[in-house]
A and B are shown apart, each in its own frame.
Chain A
């Protein structure tokens, strides 16, 4: 099971990083989200995997390592804040640079011209 879990983590982070290396802000945001899933799973598993033993006292006799869970919770929240900022920044970029390419250099896309 650990093996499968590890493969998933590795695969997700690979996909996330690959998307982070693309050239369009929206793709980057998606990549970022994917990467943060991978990070959370990785961090979560750093304390080992336990089944059916939530770290809630007197719910079972042995407990999962609670510390990584707490860390992951913090990481999730911070990740959420960062993702939100990144998304809006991407929009701002498109508004200011007239393109959603990270370098703002790409051919000007007509949509940002068009008035709604």
Chain B
């Protein structure tokens, strides 16, 4: 097992706590700690080699098209961070076991925690930018879950959302940056990217890339102006704050800056932007921290301030500064984690975090107090503690830089001021909490925590001391290699030691300490001064902004989707108009080369009828019956037109469909008000619709004209040629329908069948009451069905059926066919319904029409399948001329069978529609339960 397993062991570990949750708490904690511990050992096994300056790489293809590969590296930087992550992680696991109360779901907590650990390890060990981003986002998600762990409390929910939103946004920016960077460099592999710094800095995209990366880093590391989410993340359980929001996650952004230092750093922009952001954040954090009464609030802002310090160092563009930055990353992680844990203990054992209540705890918890004091001394940068060393280096570097040109002297001054504030708030932490009189109104009397809850703090504080006293034996080598990994070239001379002799940095620390004490002594005035400013809660502002956006979005959306079909339909038509109009404006003339056929009276009459009819339909559209009559007139003329232009099949079909449709509409009209209420739609809309409609009409007309006058070499010749020989029929249209393009017909009858089913669905649930008088108040006639009509229609029925059979049989060779025949039959049957009433029919005809549809469809389908027996594709037709005695020679064609399918489907569908509608009109409502 080698280092390659380091990121995977915790990944496997994610489920373990969920499994061992049932066991007792210690068992759960132990099993959870197991795999990370192993991972830590693996790192230590490789440590010697790394300290010898080696670095390991391993990579496997994952999604090559994306440039994403499973690829890890373990160099000094990665090792350093991994040790922080795993080490502090283990301590946090131990700590949390005592911190969490019985009612918290421990398994879930550990699960999230390990998930985060995995993600964090992934970031620091990634050797592929996309993979890095992959883990980067995972940290955001797991931190969201951890902050919201106590989901019943509203602050936790809001804090979690805020953190996710800010870091998520940063993550998206980072993704964009990574993709751009990869497009410049041509690879996502860090080995390649880190060695092409020049190329990147020269490229035109450099600024964009830098900006996006910085947004990613600053959001994660809580730099101004994105710092505000961190204090609100403190709603999380304290172990989380100790782990994510001081030691590790907030360092991810800084890690990013360090990792891409060779690529992005070294330019003026980087210099100015990064260092100034860091400087400002440092000051802001240090100042605000002093005035926080909440223990964790104070620590949160001090974290922000220290992160700012590190960023400033990275921004200074000197390698020594970068080394100092890395050094401070470790130191800060160690002492801040221990401080958070101490704060957690105090909170846990005294029941409050408010420094105005908790005072004089020294008496109650001396050990914890001592530990906390040492840690905060480290934070203040007191000699013999690790904080001091990195702070010294920091001061040295601030003196070396020249960001602000002639005003550069400001930087060390401001640095000293910030340091003074950090001394002040450290003092406050110590003095307010452990001395300064007696506790005021605490929920419970404070006492020392359980033995093992303190162990993590002890370990961390011990490290503070060790590093502080023997830097070169403890951390020196690792730091050196980490720095090597950052620059990937030899380091300049530098020395970490407690005593550099009397020099400016030392003086600065001295001044800072004195200043800090001074500030703390006069805190009363300062608090009064700070009190004059309204304290602004980022949470309310943030939530407020989101709310405002939501309200605005709702206004916009409701404005667009106002629920009016008329608007939607208009959009559709207008959009279509926009699409088809331009090409026609380019067209010089629509008239094609073909000579027009001469005009004659009949055509003119037809045209007049059509135009008048459609016009009347519009004009009288309010009088529905009249509109319907006009419509059917138009339909009639249309079918005549078909007949005139040599399309007998169309004419027949159109005619029969016309009849059925009109019957249908008439039946329907019975359920509608006779008149459309005069529409309330504004005249403007009326004009608007009229304009669009007529424009589309004009365009359709012109296109139609153009099509008719242009010569067309179409595939039709083939059909005419092969209809008889290949399809066995002389009526080409019918042969096309049942043979050449039989699949269309197949789909078409399916549509018919589905429509019938849908209509059945609609009607079965319909509880529609009808009116019993017409609009002028006359009651509908109540007479039984007129005898004459019923007699006539009954006697006509056989005739109709005969005709339909005839039409059907001739279909293949002469105009006709299954569809028309089917419609004729159904018309005949409907006539029976009309003449004799539903009751009468139901008694006699006991056909379930949707079975009929099924039979029709299956016949058509099986006919199609039949051709498989002959090894031909679906719907291949077959025909043969057989001659029988007496009857003579006649044709048998599979197409005929197919047509029978059509025939039955049509009858079934039409009658299912009309009969079930008809039933509505009668006393016996449709009661077919929707089975």
Interface, chain A (partner B; CB < 8 A): 1-24, 26-27, 29-30, 33-34, 37-38, 40-42, 44-59, 63-67, 69-74, 76-85, 87-92, 94-95, 100, 102-103, 105-107, 109, 111-116
Contacts and interface: CB of A to CB of B under 8 A. Distances in A.
Given A9-B700, A13-B696, A74-B744, A44 B645 contact: yes
A72 B700 CA distance: 17
B208 to A, nearest CB: 48
Main secondary structure of the interface of A (DSSP, over half): helix
Given A14-B694, A19-B617, 11 more contacts: A2-B708, A17-B573, A26-B669, A55-B646, A56-B815, A57-B723, A76-B657, A88-B759, A94-B672, A102-B565, A113-B769
15 contacts: A2-B596, A6-B704, A18-B689, A21-B569, A24-B677, A26-B624, A29-B668, A30-B621, A40-B654, A47-B716, A57-B724, A63-B732, A88-B917, A91-B668, A109-B673
B464 interface: no
A95 B767 contact: yes
Contact of B714 (A16, A51, A67, A69): A67
A85 B565 CA distance: 18
B907 interface: no
A80 B689 contact: no
B628 interface: yes
A26 B733 contact: no
Nearest to A21: B689
A13 B638 CA distance: 13
B250 to A, nearest CB: 53
Contacts of A44: 642, 645, 647, 650
A55 B610 contact: no
Interface string B644-660: 11111110011001001
Contact of B737 (A46, A74, A91): A74
List of 10 A-B pairs having minimum Cβ-Cβ separation, nearest first: A10-B701, A14-B697, A6-B705, A81-B755, A18-B693, A57-B730, A95-B768, A70-B736, A66-B732, A15-B614
Using C-beta atoms within 8 Å of the partner chain, give the interface range for chain B. 35 or more
Interface stretch (B474-482, B599-607, B827-835): B599-607
Given A1-B603, A48-B594, A73-B649, A18 B618 contact: yes
B401 interface: no
A81 B624 CA distance: 21
B676 interface: yes
A59 to B, nearest CB: 8
B49 interface: no
A21 B573 contact: yes
Contacts of A87: 664-665, 668
Contacts of B731: 55-57
Contact of A64 (B647, B657, B703, B768): B647
A5 B703 CA distance: 12
Interface in B763-791: 763, 765-772
Nearest to B917: A88
Interface of B: 563-566, 569-570, 573, 594, 596-600, 603-604, 607, 610-611, 614-615, 617-618, 621, 624, 627-628, 631, 634-635, 638, 641-642, 644-650, 653-654, 657, 660-661, 664-665, 668-669, 671-673, 676-677, 679-681, 689-690, 692-694, 696-705, 707-709, 712, 714-716, 719-720, 723-724, 730-733, 736-737, 740-741, 744-745, 748-749, 751-752, 754-756, 758-759, 762-763, 765-772, 813-815, 819, 909, 913, 917
Given A34-B617, A44-B647, A81 B909 contact: yes
A79 B635 CA distance: 13
B653 A73 contact: yes
Contacts of A91: 668, 671-672, 762, 766, 768
Given A38-B700, A84-B759, A1 B716 contact: no
Given A3-B705, A91-B768, A116-B771, A23 B604 contact: no
Contacts of A17: 573, 692-693, 696-697
Given A10-B697, A49-B708, A57-B723, A27 B621 contact: yes
Nearest to B600: A1
Contact of A37 (B638, B653, B680, B705): B638
B698 to A, nearest CB: 6
Contact of B708 (A48, A59, A66, A107): A48
A67 to B, nearest CB: 5
Q: Which of A13, A51, A71, A80 has the most CB of B within 10 A?
A: A80
Contacts of A38: 700
A22 B720 contact: no
A82 B759 CA distance: 10
A20 to B, nearest CB: 6
Contacts of A42: 700, 703-704
Contact of A84 (B594, B681, B755, B814): B755
Nearest to A37: B638
B645 A8 contact: no
Contacts of A14: 693-694, 696-698, 700
A72 to B, nearest CB: 6
A45 B704 contact: yes
Contacts of B599: 1, 4
Contacts of B741: 70
A60 to B, nearest CB: 8
A96 B720 CA distance: 52
Contacts of B697: 10-15, 17
Nearest to A80: B657
Contacts of B909: 81
Nearest to B614: A15
A8 to B, nearest CB: 5
Contact of B677 (A5, A48, A57, A106): A106
Nearest to A102: B565
B609 to A, nearest CB: 10
Nearest to A52: B646
A83 B813 CA distance: 30
Nearest to A113: B769
Nearest to A17: B693
B733 A66 contact: yes
A69 B651 CA distance: 10
A30 B762 contact: no
Q: Which of A17, A82, A92 has the most CB of B within 10 A?
A: A17
A15 B693 contact: yes
B638 A41 contact: yes
Contact of A65 (B565, B638, B649, B714): B714
A42 B823 CA distance: 24
Contacts of B759: 84-85, 88
B646 A51 contact: yes
Nearest to A90: B668
A89 to B, nearest CB: 6
Contacts of A7: 607, 611, 701
Contacts of B813: 56
A73 B703 CA distance: 21
Given A4-B599, A18-B618, A37-B634, A64 B766 contact: no
B631 A33 contact: yes
Given A13-B700, A100-B672, A5 B566 contact: no
A80 B614 CA distance: 19
Contacts of B564: 103
Contacts of A58: 730
B755 A15 contact: no
Given A11-B701, A22-B621, A70-B736, A37 B755 contact: no
B762 A92 contact: yes
Contacts of B705: 2-3, 5-6
B815 to A, nearest CB: 7
A37 B749 CA distance: 20
B771 A111 contact: yes
Contact of A116 (B724, B748, B763, B769): B769
B814 A66 contact: no
A74 B762 CA distance: 25
Nearest to A15: B614
A27 to B, nearest CB: 5
